[in-house]
Amino acid sequence: MTRLSSNHLLGLKNLTPEDISLIFETADNFKAILNRPIKKVPSLRDITIANVFFENSTRTKISFELAEKRLSADIVNFSSSNSSVSKGETLIDTVNNILSMKVDMVVMRHPAPGAAQFLAQHVDAQIINAGDGTHEHPTQALLDAYSIRESRGSLKGKKVVIVGDILHSRVALSNIYCLQKLGAEVAVCGPPTLIPKYIEALGVSVTHNLEEAIEWCDVANMLRIQMERQDTKYFPSLREYTMQYGLTMEHLNSLKKEITVMHPGPINRGVEISSEVADSDQSIILNQVENGVAIRMAVLYLLAAQKEG
Ligand code: CP
């Protein structure tokens, strides 16, 4: 297979295992290029991409920008904080104005779940979802699965636990879809108030006990508590959350095996993960960030090829 099954990347739910394999194969080639002295290729020389961010981002925004620059695309950056959105312009009008300046693709982060899908239905451009509220964050899940494959070999049969604020996490949902499509077993772990009630219907097992979770898993993906998305108190205090769900060296040293530790970032050192664990040999947090550029290059390259027919 040499083509993706979709003209947009909106989420992992609708990607096929073959799509994911194609993205990984393409990312392998780009990763090799990124390790060469000259990291730039002319693949997207005639393509213009708008990075449209209605929410803050460090990793995703920089990673997409670098991926686009390494592929020689022309880029424009839009952030809602210094735009005319504050004057009442709608999402569709904003994006259509950008597109009228001959833009081919839009990478969008937006706080509303479904915003990327909505945009794909209403504007004439290829849309890449860079995170839509609590819904999906597809390139994060792809780079996470790619990093697990790099660290532990094939995903098939691997046991991955996602720990923390599952309720507010777009990373968790995209990871669940992606990992299952690649044959991994997925569990979630966290306080009952931060685990959505429907989650078991996705074929995911649930535990509220971190010790039990890390005994079971090969890989622990530690998530941040998303204070900015919480309108109510889901646990008594951060200190108590850390006591029950913060991953420490004592946890890792208590195991008779080495697990791989991941985090999508931004990390809150001393809350969901101790500094020692984040900086340990078992952590692949910075490998995830590095792999993000190759994965995003692969996604942009393959989507551009769709348009060429
Ligand atoms: N992982 C992630 O999405 O990080 P940013 O919010 O910094 O982009």
Q: How far is the CA of 63 from the centre of ligand 1 (A)?
A: 10
Mutational test site, ligand 1, from 59, 142, 144, 174, max ligand atoms within 8 Å of CB: 59
Query: Taking CB atoms and a 6 Å cutoff, what residues make up the pocket around ligand 1?
Result: 57-60, 131, 137, 140, 264-266
Whether 266 has a pLDDT exceeding 90, the answer reads yes
**Distance (Å) of CA 128 to CA 11, 28, 136, 153, 168:** 9, 20, 11, 28, 21
Q: 252 near 279, Cβ under 8 Å? A: no
Q: If pLDDT is split at 50, 70 and 90, which confidence band does 109 have?
A: very high
Give the pLDDT of residue 87.
83
Residue with the smallest CA separation from ligand 1 atom 6 is 57
- One-letter amino acid at 75 equals I
b/e sequence 141-168, b meaning 16+ C-beta within 10 Å: bbbbbbbbbbbbeebeebbbbbbbbbbb
Q: Are 270 and 222 in contact, with CB atoms under 8 Å apart?
A: no
Is a pLDDT exceeding 90 seen at residue 194? yes
Q: pLDDT tens, 152-173?
A: 999 999 999 999 999 999 999 9
pTM: 0.96
* The pLDDT value given to residue 134: 95
The pLDDT score that the predictor gives to residue 27 is 98
What is the average per-residue pLDDT within 61-81?
Answer: 96
C-alpha 303 – ligand 1 centre gap (Å): 22
pLDDT at residue 227 tops 70: no
What is the reported pLDDT for 273?
Answer: 98
Residue-range domains of the chain with CATH: 17-137+289-308 (3.40.50.1370), 138-284 (3.40.50.1370)
Confidence of residue 146 (pLDDT cuts 50, 70, 90): very high
Sign of the alpha-carbon torsion through 253, 254, 256, 261:
negative
Asked if pLDDT for residue 13 goes beyond 80, the answer is yes
Cα four-point dihedral sign 27, 260, 229, 182: positive
Are 219 and 152 in contact by the 8 Å Cβ rule? The answer is yes
Give 309 or 13, the one with higher predicted confidence: 13
pLDDT at 232: 62
Q: Which of 52, 54, 58 to mutate to test the pocket of ligand 1 (most atoms within 8 A of CB)?
A: 58
The residue behind tokens 């551009």 is: 304
Residue 69, sorted as left (phi over 0), alpha (psi -120 to 50) or beta, turns out to be alpha
User: What are the structure tokens assigned to 245, written together?
Assistant: 């769900």
With the most atoms of ligand 1 within 8 angstroms of its CB, the residue from 54, 57, 226, 268 to mutate is 57
Mean pLDDT taken over the chain: 95
Residue 109 CA, closest ligand 1 atom number = 8
**In this structure, which amino acid lies at residue 19?**
D
Q: How far is the CA of 265 from the centre of ligand 1 (A)?
A: 6
Supply the pLDDT for residue 85: 80
> Which residues, 6+ apart, have CB-to-CB distance to 187 below 8 Å?
159, 160, 161, 162, 204, 205, 206, 207, 213, 216, 217
Query: 236 falls in which pLDDT band (50, 70, 90)?
Result: confident
- Between 114 and 82, the more confident residue is 114
